[in-house]
Amino acid sequence: MTPFTRLDARAAALDLANIDTDQIIPKQFLKTVEREGLARGLFYDMRFDAEGRPKPGFVLDEPAFAGAAILLAGDNFGCGSSREHAPWALLDFGIRCVVASSFADIFYNNCFQNGLLPIALPRNQVRALMGEAKGGNHVFSIDLEAQTVTASSGAVFAFEIDPGRKEKLLRGLDAIGETLQAAGEIADYEARRALDQPWLEHA
């Protein structure tokens, strides 16, 4: 998993509340267990019509926001069914951080497992950031170590994050990577067990 330390990037405002996981990545794109290639399905129904033709005006497809790595959204982002494909699709599109006034719990947890930073800020602060992004001042800085979001205007907003989750993001550790840090101790235990309880090796 790619470590997350500091991100200086364009921010795009998707000024909607209750964006659910089926809107983030519709069900027809869930047939794969691969993380690559899901960018095509990100917000598919918002970006394309029934014939698969691009709809004009979707913020992430506008030239001014090309390459945006920060997404600003409203309340309850990521609600609906649990699907890890949602953070996968965001990451595959290039989004590394979502800033919203609140998140659905399962989506919020899935973000940390995949290296996507979800930042919850008070609604008025999110509105201020959206105003700057929509007004053309849309290059923001996210500093995970300092726990700050800095807008183009210089306005700085502090955010809270669980210390354990913060450390894993800074070090680029998912659940497997965290476990592998104890690889030496695991190997020692297995060696001792093989000597003390050899019958278990053939169970």
Give the bridge partners for 141, in sequence order: 8, 150
| Tens digit of each residue's pLDDT (9 = 90 or more) over 46-57 | 999 989 899 999
Average pLDDT over residues 55-81: 94
**What global pTM score does this model have?**
0.86
Distance separating the N- and C-terminal Cα atoms of the chain: 35
For the chain, the domains span 6-172, 173-203
Interhelix angle 85-93/105-114, nearest 10 degrees: 50
Beta bridge partner(s), residue 77: 103
pLDDT of residue 175 exceeding 60, the answer is: no
Residue 54's SS3 state is: strand
For residue 68, pLDDT beyond 80: yes
**Which numeric CATH code is attached to 6-172?**
3.20.19.10
- Tens-digit pLDDT profile for residues 117-143: 999 999 999 999 999 999 888 899 999
**What DSSP string runs through 126-154?**
HHHHHHHHHTT--EEEEETTTTEEE-TTS
Q: CA 127, CA 4: separation in Å to the nearest integer?
A: 25
Average pLDDT of the chain is 88
**Residue 31 and residue 22: Cα distance in Å, rounded?**
14
- Identify the pLDDT of residue 136: 81
Span 102-120, average pLDDT: 96
Structure confidence at residue 182 as a pLDDT band (50, 70, 90) = very low
Distance CA 84, CA 129 (A): 27
